[in-house]
C-alpha cells in the first residue's frame, strides 16, 4: 500500500513494450529485486536493481489500463515506495491499481495555487466526492469541485515542483485511482442503493473507518 506522497521524480531511461527502466536516487536505497514501487501511481515489481537504475516488467494489461505505455526516455515519473508498517500516513490509502485514465483539460493560476481540471471516465467519476481523496499519477490530492465527467484539484507550489504535475500541460493523460473506502462502501450498500449522507456516515462508523 502507498500513501500518495511522492518521494522523488525519477527519469525514464528505457521504455519498451513490456519493459521499463527508470533512474532514481531515493527509492533505490535498500531496494531489492521483488520490491514494489509505485511509478506514476502504478504498482510495479522491480525485476532488476543496479545502482541508481530500476527495471520493471510491465504486463499488456497494465499498459492498456494506464499511461505507462506512453512514456518515453527522458520523461519524469513520480516514484513512491510502499508504506512501512507503523509509519505515519500523511496522504491516503493508495493501492497502485489504476481505475482509469484522465485528461488534463485546463490549468489555471488562482492566488498561490494552481487549479487543474481533469476529464475522467464514468468508472472514476462514480467514486468522486467533494473534498474526497484521489490519486493522480500517484499523487494524493483533494477534490475541490466536480461535475458529470470532470473534477478539479488545487495544487500548491511545492507539489508542482516535487511531482510531474509541474511539467504537465492541457491534453496530457494521467493515471487515476479513487479512494478504496468508496469502493467498499458501494460494494456493501449495493450498486443501485440510494445512499444518504446519514446512512453513509453510519456505515463508515460501523465499519470502523470513523472514530
pLDDT tens string 129-168: 989 999 999 999 999 999 999 999 999 999 999 999 999 9
- pTM over cut 0.95: no
**69 and 133, same domain (yes or no):** no
Q: Is residue 2 part of a domain?
A: no
**186 and 171, same domain (yes or no):** no
Domain count, the chain: 3
pLDDT mean across residues, the chain: 90
**154 and 197, same domain (yes or no):** no
What is the full DSSP assignment across the chain? -B-S---EEEEEEEEETTEEEEE-SSTTTT--TT-EEEETTEEEEEEEEETTEEEEE--HHHHHHSSGGG--TT-EEEEEPPPPTT----S--B-S---EEEEEEEEEEETTEEEEEEE--HHHHTT--TT-EEEETTEEEEEEEE-SSEEEEEE-HHHHHHSGGGG--TT-EEEEEE-HHHHHHHHHH-TT----HHHHHHHHHHTTS--
Taking only the tens place, the pLDDT of each residue in 30-71 is 899 999 999 999 999 999 999 999 999 999 999 999 999 999
List the domain range (segments joined by +) for residue 138.
Answer: 100-178
Amino acid at each position: 500500500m502507498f500513501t500518495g506522497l511522492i518521494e522523488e521524480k525519477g527519469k525514464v531511461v528505457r521504455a519498451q513494450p513490456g519493459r521499463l527502466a527508470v533512474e532514481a536516487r531515493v527509492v533505490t536505497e535498500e531496494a531489492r529485486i521483488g520490491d514494489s514501487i509505485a511509478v506514476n501511481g502504478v504498482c510495479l515489481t522491480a525485476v532488476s536493481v543496479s545502482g541508481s537504475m530500476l527495471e520493471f516488467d510491465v504486463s499488456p494489461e497494465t499498459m492498456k489500463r494506464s499511461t505507462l505505455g506512453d512514456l518515453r526516455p527522458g520523461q519524469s515519473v513520480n516514484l513512491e515506495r510502499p508504506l512501512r508498517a507503523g509509519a505515519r500516513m500523511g496522504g491516503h490509502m493508495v493501492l497502485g491499481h489504476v481505475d482509469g485514465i484522465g485528461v488534463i483539460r485546463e490549468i489555471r493560476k488562482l492566488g498561490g495555487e494552481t487549479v487543474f481540471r481533469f476529464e475522467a471516465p464514468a468508472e472514476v467519476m462514480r467514486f468522486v466526492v467533494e473534498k474526497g481523496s484521489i490519486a493522480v499519477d500517484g499523487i494524493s490530492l483533494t477534490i475541490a469541485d466536480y461535475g458529470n465527467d470532470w473534477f478539479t484539484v488545487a495544487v500548491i507550489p511545492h507539489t508542482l515542483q516535487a511531482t510531474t504535475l509541474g511539467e504537465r500541460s492541457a491534453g496530457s493523460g494521467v493515471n487515476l485511482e479513487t479512494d478504496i473506502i468508496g469502493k467498499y462502501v458501494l460494494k456493501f450498500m449495493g450498486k443501485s442503493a440510494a445512499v444518504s449522507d446519514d446512512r453513509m456516515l453510519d456505515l463508515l462508523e460501523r465499519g470502523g473507518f470513523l472514530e
